[in-house]
Structures are given as C-alpha cells and as structure tokens.
Amino acid sequence: MNDDRFDLQNPTLDTSGQEAFVQQFVTRTYGWMTAGLALTAIIALFVASSPELIQSIFGNRILFFGIIIVEFILVMGLSAAINRISPAVATMGFLFYAALNGVTLSVILLVYTAASVASTFFITTLTFGGMALYGTATKRDLTAMGSFMVMGLWGMVIASLVNLFFHNSMVQWILGYVGVIVFTGLTAWDAQKIKALAIATQDDEQSAGKASIMGALTLYLDFINLFLSLLRILGRRNND
C-alpha cells in the first residue's frame, strides 16, 4: 500500500491527547482487519460446502481468473482513489475485497485437511500478533527493514510468475519459507506505520477514517499472505 498520500513527516500532537487518539485509531484499524478476516472465513466455508458453487467457480477459468483480476483492481483502486472517496466507500471496498478473497481461498479448504488449516491459522495468529506487537511497541525505525522486505516481496512475485510455467515443487517450497520471512517483517513495519498514520490524520476525521481502513487492508494482506506461506510449509493435503 502506498502511504505517501498522508503526511507522516514530523507529526505533532499534544502528549495528553496523542496516546488516547493513537489507541483508538489502532483499535479501530485492527477491528476492521479482524472483520475482514472473519468475512473471508465465512465466505470460504460457505463456498467450500457447496459443490455447485465450487464447480461453477473453479470449473470456469474465465470466472475464476476474472475474480482474481477484480481483487487486484480493487486493491490498486482503493490505494489510488483514497483521497477522492468517502470512508464509507473505502469500507465497502475493503469488505467486498475480503468477500471475494473468501471465494478464491475456499479452495484451500478442499486441498488441505481441516486440522492442518486450523493449526496453521493458529500459528499464523501467534506469529502475526507477536510481530504486530513488536512493530507497535519498538522505538526502532523499521523503514529500512520494511523496504528490504518489499524488495523480497517483488522477488517472490517474479519467481511465482516464472514458476507458473515450470511447476517446480522445490521453488514452491522455497517461496513458502521466503514468504514467512517477508510477511513477518512487513507485519512489524506496517504495524509501526499504523501509529504514524494515526498521528498524521488526527486533525481530520474523514482522513483518519480512510487511513484506518487502508491500514486494516494492509494488515489483512500481511496476515493472509503469512498464512498462505505457512500453509505451503505446514499444510497437509487431503490426498497425502
């Protein structure tokens, strides 16, 4: 997510009001992130439980890849248009994205055993929570680390695209471990940026509302991708 739409340089706020505002902002942001994850899980369970929907979605490549393209456009569109839309529109866009993601992620409930999905989700929650807490509490500037992780993310994207043609299982395995490193690092960095966003938008409720949703989207993506990376490593397939 591109956060340069908000001025994060030298934010100022009186000490007495800063902590309360930041706490409220952070709570709201993580609340929306949790709502997005819950919606994704509900939709995924609903789709996975319907053979008709599974056949309609995954049996039609045009529809399946169309949903993925819409998801990509939604994320890019929200980031690009955040200054021109209302908090309500930003919220609806985020929730719509979470719902669509539930549709595409429903396949993992068919590929992996329920026990391995549940255990991986638990591990992801602990890992994400620990890194988010570190990012929020640390006084160290994590910008350099975050920039390095973004480079790693681009490397993963390129490697994944290339591997679409080769279907190398070893590459998939390596990408799982690299993904865990990249998204744990991004979680800490993004959690730290949430505090800066809170202070930068504290004088404008509209901007604060939109920044909270974009922060929730960023953390949501960190969680989902960390979960998928861990699932590549720890997940047990139904046909094993």
Tens of pLDDT along 201-215? Answer: 888 888 899 999 999
The ranges assigned to domains in the chain are: 15-234
User: What's the sign of the alpha-carbon dihedral 142, 123, 113, 239?
Assistant: positive
Please tell me the predicted confidence (pLDDT) of residue 199. 86
Phi, psi of 49, deg, nearest 5: -85, -5
The pLDDT of residue 10 is above 70: no
Q: How confident is the model at residue 151 (pLDDT cuts 50, 70, 90)?
A: very high
